[in-house]
Structure 1
């Protein structure tokens, strides 16, 4: 029985699929003559469909498809010695913008065992690439603008802090002076964060660097004799989002201010230690001193603005506060725990002063 009708039927089916395809397709012989082109290919590249059959690929249009490298790869694909997958080309036509194309090609058995056929898919990615470049440019410009804004905010905060310090020197009331000093320290906490954000990629804050900068600033403004009092920071490699770092920075500011004010009376020497540890979404922040410890009964200081600020910030972080005797001194531990069994090892931190 002759197989010719079957072969003709399969070839006709292939042609029908190619011509009606919504994707730009070419059906080529092994010598790169065009057997058929999809209507979508002709529309996309402004080619007269009636002029296509029988032409070689390099003869299409005004010769813009005559690309030696592409032809070489197609011939290698036809001989099964190569494979074209996502090969990128630039289609250059007179008086038209260059188009960026992605070409995929594979051999196709359409029933004619004596001849190799190639099915070539051509995708115009010009607009997609332009959109991607635009998004990259916008993201880069946004990052530069954000960095500049953060830098200017940090400078403005420094000016505000300076004004607060000058005002504190002029006022007569000790209570007013204390409030101005506290406001100054809180502003400096945010200024330190802004400086860190301006140099941090992706808006995240590396806590070790941030906390060290913050405590250096607090020490410079509150410790008159560094040989008597000092602040030490210990932290792992954690990086957190900016809003979290704001809360943590303000908490540290309030607790360090409180320790420096109340833990070392009568020229007592000592150290304030800050430690931060995390594991996954769990974290622990501890601020401890080796001062006089917690007062009890009527000698205990009344809760002030700083205490309210810390409690509000901890609540915002879904954390819990623990106040304990550090023997000597006091330790405030703030923890956020989602995983069972997380326990930061803080004992070496407390006693290694």
Structure 2
């Protein structure tokens, strides 16, 4: 027997793996391409004495049987090995009958081709029979040869009419506990859950000659694997047998499980959406809705399937709804706000969207709906509130140069409902300085994004002057202003009221100024009268009393003078008041002495109700210091410190004089001055303290800032 091989392939890509395997056999091999025709094939067969021809059937229009016929016509004795992605059982049987020597699937090339070639050339190639059924004819033995059934991608089995498995292929043996001669009833290989289904399938196959079923089979390792089993019946020597194949569908089942899981997940996601979800086809049939669609509208799925989309809306809205659906199909998307009719007769507002998509050549609309009833009601309330508060809104689209005003804005400016404004026309409603201010504000907003809040004057369409408050903000996209928007409020009544209040306050300010001026002058007159009376007094005590009271009156007059000068009729600057009062006392009774005054004064502001008792206390302390602290020396120092921390006001007056007598009783005052200090300190809800020693005395006063205190003299009368 000659040892030459010819390969017939479509291209170099198919030939290369075959060539690499053949090189290992050491047998000479040549090749031709399928497109070279029968003449080239015949020439090679004759000239090269070809013993084996290997043909790749991939993408070949001719069937394997036709290929074998053509080869056998040229050389009936040549061996033919066919290569293909996979061979079905019935196809394999027919190819072997037609004269194929061997059939090799492409994924088995590496493992089987070399062995097959060597077997052919060693004349040892023959089909091993594993199906031993007595009296089977030669054709059946060929069909059931070991080579064919073992080349199948799945399991192969033969069952007799009693249910015993009498023959299997190698794959079956690899997967399951099969021992020839033992009890191999088919039900022994089926899971308990599928036992009944297996029995029914076996009976059906015997009855109708063929059947297909999915069953879980018990494997060697104790597991259970899903198989798709196909069976046909045939009769051999009057004995019926069932010939079957099975394919492991575990991967397919897993894919189906994942698909079902994904479908379940998708269903749950859609049903969890709080709004409506629906799919609509071009025939206006609802293909899918979510649970919220059913719950919110009250219709069952069966009812929805029988309804047209327009059935959910008022008849007046039908044309508008139909146009939106048409737009979605033609342009890809559309949206609308409309009232939907529920099964119980309610009419909530929904914002509905629709997006076009195509699936397997069919057009659909995927839509959503959100209940905006509350939002619509709030918008209605807002419009009513805006009308009542005279607050309108406006918007300017810089891209399309389009200005929009709300109804209230038009009403404020007294223009018609169909008035179509632009930016320039809007600015022209402003007058005088207001026009310049709004023009600049708009320019700054567009250029730099600066917002504005202005109170300006406008002249309405009917020529009426009004005060308005306008607020504006800018929106940018890509660094460029694309939109201005804001509010527009009629504040004419507010402005007129403010002007009336200002005029009234001005009148009261003038009146208070006059009051303080007259009080100051009257106090000055009383002080002058007391001074004249003091000069005429014969007794020194009378003179002293009159002079002390004159100083007290002067201290109060200084307060009214400060209020008059500051045009502030409520609050007094204690630091300024302290400085003026100390200077006045120093000028009045400090002649002939070298007393140095050191002032450490922080800014402290209180109302007049606290300023009066503070000033009287300070007057008593400073006057007493001048009179008594320096009796035996002509020079000295007085330090006055005033401050405020966390609402607590503190005053300290310190001297380096002779101090108080050791037996002086501070707790039980006997003089008018000490009585005033104690009483006025209580009136301030404060505390005071005297410290005295050889190096002088110190007076301390602390009180909290309190605007609710009343008049200074109430506790003295």
TM (norm. structure 2) is 0.37
Q: Which of 154, 161, 171 in structure 1 is aligned with 2:520?
A: 154
Alignment of 1:1-353 (within 5 A): 1-2=328-329, 7=334, 9=336, 21=383, 22=386, 23-25=391-393, 30-32=400-402, 38-49=406-417, 51-52=418-419, 55-57=420-422, 85-86=451-452, 90-93=457-460, 95-102=463-470, 104=472, 121-136=487-502, 138-139=504-505, 142-200=508-566, 202=568, 203-225=570-592, 228-230=593-595, 232-241=597-606, 242-265=608-631, 268-271=633-636, 273-280=638-645, 281-297=647-663, 303-336=670-703
Q: Structure 2 CA distance, aligned partners of 1:187 and 1:216?
A: 15
TM-fit CA distance, 1:306? 0.9
Q: Structure 2 CA distance, aligned partners of 1:6 and 1:97?
A: 47
Q: Is the 8 A contact 1:290 1:330 kept in 2?
A: yes
Q: Is the 8 A contact 1:28 1:117 kept in 2?
A: yes
Cα 1:39–1:273 shift into 2, 3 Å: same
TM-fit CA distance, 1:188? 0.9
TM-fit CA distance, 1:139? 4.6
Q: Which runs of 5+ in 2 are unaligned?
A: 1-327, 340-350, 352-371, 476-481, 706-717
Cα 1:316–1:117 shift into 2, 3 Å: closer
Q: Is the 8 A contact 1:58 1:65 kept in 2?
A: no
Tell me which structure has the larger Cα radius of gyration.
2
Q: Structure 2 CA distance, aligned partners of 1:208 and 1:240?
A: 8
Cα 1:231–1:86 shift into 2, 3 Å: same
Q: Structure 2 CA distance, aligned partners of 1:141 and 1:161?
A: 30
Q: Structure 2 CA distance, aligned partners of 1:172 and 1:254?
A: 24
TM-fit CA distance, 1:305? 1.0
TM-fit CA distance, 1:180? 1.1
1:199 is paired with a residue whose SS is helix
Q: Which runs of 5+ in 1 are unaligned?
A: 108-115, 339-353
**Once superposed, what is the RMSD of the aligned Cα atoms?**
4.6
TM-fit CA distance, 1:185? 0.9
Q: Structure 1 CA distance, aligned partners of 2:699 and 2:636?
A: 14
CA deviations on 1:126-158 (whole Å, 9 max, x unpaired) are: 333444455455555544543443233222211
Q: Is the 8 A contact 1:231 1:273 kept in 2?
A: yes
The corresponding residue for 2:221 is none
Q: Structure 2 CA distance, aligned partners of 1:330 and 1:70?
A: 66
TM-fit CA distance, 1:248? 2.1
Q: Structure 1 CA distance, aligned partners of 2:525 and 2:555?
A: 13
The corresponding residue for 1:113 is none
Q: Structure 1 CA distance, aligned partners of 2:429 and 2:525?
A: 63
Which of structures 1 and 2 has the larger relative contact order (alpha carbons within 8 angstroms, sep 6+)? 1
Q: Is the 8 A contact 2:669 2:675 kept in 1?
A: no
2:694 is paired with a residue whose SS is coil
Q: Structure 1 CA distance, aligned partners of 2:396 and 2:380?
A: 11
Judging by fraction of residues, say which structure has more strand.
2
Q: Structure 2 CA distance, aligned partners of 1:310 and 1:245?
A: 14
TM (norm. structure 1) is 0.70
CA deviations on 1:203-260 (whole Å, 9 max, x unpaired) are: 44333332222122222332342xx253614122222213333222211211222233
Cα 1:101–1:177 shift into 2, 3 Å: closer
TM-fit CA distance, 1:164? 0.4
The aligned length equals 319
Q: Structure 2 CA distance, aligned partners of 1:105 and 1:329?
A: 68
Q: Structure 2 CA distance, aligned partners of 1:42 and 1:130?
A: 22
